[in-house]
Amino acid sequence: MRAVAAEEQAKAERPEPLGLYVHVPFCASTCAFCAFYQVTPTAESVKCFVNCLSAEGGLVGWDRPLSTVFWGGGTPGLLSAADLGRLGDVVHSIPGGAAPAEWTVELAPSSVTKERLAALRSAGVTRVSLGVQSFRPALLEALGRAHTRERVYRAYDRAGFASVNLDLMFALPGQTASEWEADIDEAVSLAPDHISTYCLTFEEDTALWVKLSQGRVRLDTENEARMYERTWERLGAAGYEQYEISNFARAGHQCAHNVNTWRMGEWAGLGPSAASQKGGWRGSNIADLSKWAVLVGRGERMTEDRTALTPALLAEDALVFGLRMNQGVDLGRLRTRCPDAPWGRVGALIDRLAAEGLVALDGPWVRLEPRGRLLADSVGSEIMVAFAPPAAAVAC
């Protein structure tokens, strides 16, 4: 009894993390690879966005202070300094939103200016994430990026936040392994606190996807695997610890907001297309600025893909996403949190994956081996099948 009471008291003193994600749906142009929801901004649409965001914030039941805030997009850094200040006020007006421990803003290097950075600093932003993608001029052009290599340097020199991340992409059409290594080395030479390395996904209806379906570019999975391995070696040797398939950080610089989502914590998403997971529900806002504004005006949010979070669904996702983290998953804790999941089938699968050298077991912990990390998507699919009701598992 005493142990339970102590645990309850500890929980009350140190509540579970709560994140806030804000989707800022504006970009100056559309990159060849990108499927995130975004439109070209106008004075009218930006005004509507900021006002409706404030209204949407009023629809959420904020039951504890925010631990992290993440403004993604789109390109939040495209808003004027004054609009960034207004967006900051929306966060401050949320109960418990005065001073989150981590506040990240995604910036495209082409939109970084002193005025915008000053507005972000005075709002309380602690971390910026620069979408570099590559330092090679030809690749930047092929991706449809609006910045040059020089612009990245200028943006990085000006940034000056407690934590700075650089986003890089690999397995790009025409990119060689040595070009990729040169990009990694150039990013490392800037000494950021965090580096995200994303393997190109051909998202439906993007310009690159059209080229792939027309046979004008092709997939090269062997080259992709080689690039993954080189990334781990090179960034590890440079002092960046890998903590998730695509993410590397110096000590103390992991992205707490993303870690909370991968650990299946709670967050509220505001803005068109933003996803939320809170109060036993998961769902997304509609990916359309005008329709989102109408729905918010009616007091409605999270209208798309609304799903009740059953213990089995939470366990499945905690395992699929938790395994993408190098620390892995504490299966003992997960079983206690979600005792009703099909642990017999899942346990048998994990034993098989261990026998195949894809995962390692260490007491209650399970984590991906390097070969498992290369096959993380298919390991994730197998876990989903093991969690599915038997009839669905047979149908798959």
Residue numbers of the site for ligand SF4 (CB under 6 A)? 27, 30-31, 34, 36, 38, 73-75, 108, 131
Task: Show contacts with ligand SAM in window 129-168 (CB under 6 A).
Answer: 131, 133, 167
Rounded Cα distance, 42 and 26, in Å: 9
Among 62, 153, 198, 365, binds ligand SAM (CB under 6 A): 198
Evaluate whether 245 touches 224 at the Cβ level (below 8 Å): no
Nearer to ligand SAM, 173 or 342 (CB): 173
Residue nearest to ligand SF4 (CB): 34
Binding flags for ligand SAM, 30-49, as an x/- string (CB under 6 A)? ---xx-x-------------
Q: Which residues does 145 contact at the CB level (< 8 Å), separation at least 6?
A: 31, 108, 110, 131, 133, 134
Closest CA to 267 of 20, 3, 1: 20
328: tokens are: 């892995």
With contacts defined by CB under 6 A, name the span among 68-76, 223-231, 280-288, 330-338 that binds ligand SAM: 68-76
Residue 350 Cβ, how far from ligand SF4 at the closest point, in Å? 36
Among 122, 201, 213, 307, binds ligand SAM (CB under 6 A): 201
Nearer to ligand SAM, 103 or 343 (CB): 103
Residue 267 Cβ, how far from ligand SF4 at the closest point, in Å? 19
Evaluate whether 161 touches 125 at the Cβ level (below 8 Å): yes
Is residue 175 helix, strand or coil? coil
Binding flags for ligand SAM, 167-186, as an x/- string (CB under 6 A)? x-x-----------------
Residue 39 Cβ, how far from ligand SF4 at the closest point, in Å? 10
Task: Show contacts with ligand SAM in window 210-229 (CB under 6 A).
Answer: none
CA distances from 226 to 139, 197, 246, 357 (A): 19, 14, 15, 19
Rounded Cα distance, 231 and 78, in Å: 30
295: tokens are: 């729905």
CA distances from 349 to 134, 280, 282 (A): 39, 28, 27
Binding residues for ligand SAM, per CB under 6 A?
Answer: 33-34, 36, 72-73, 75, 106, 108, 131, 133, 167, 169, 198, 200-201, 203
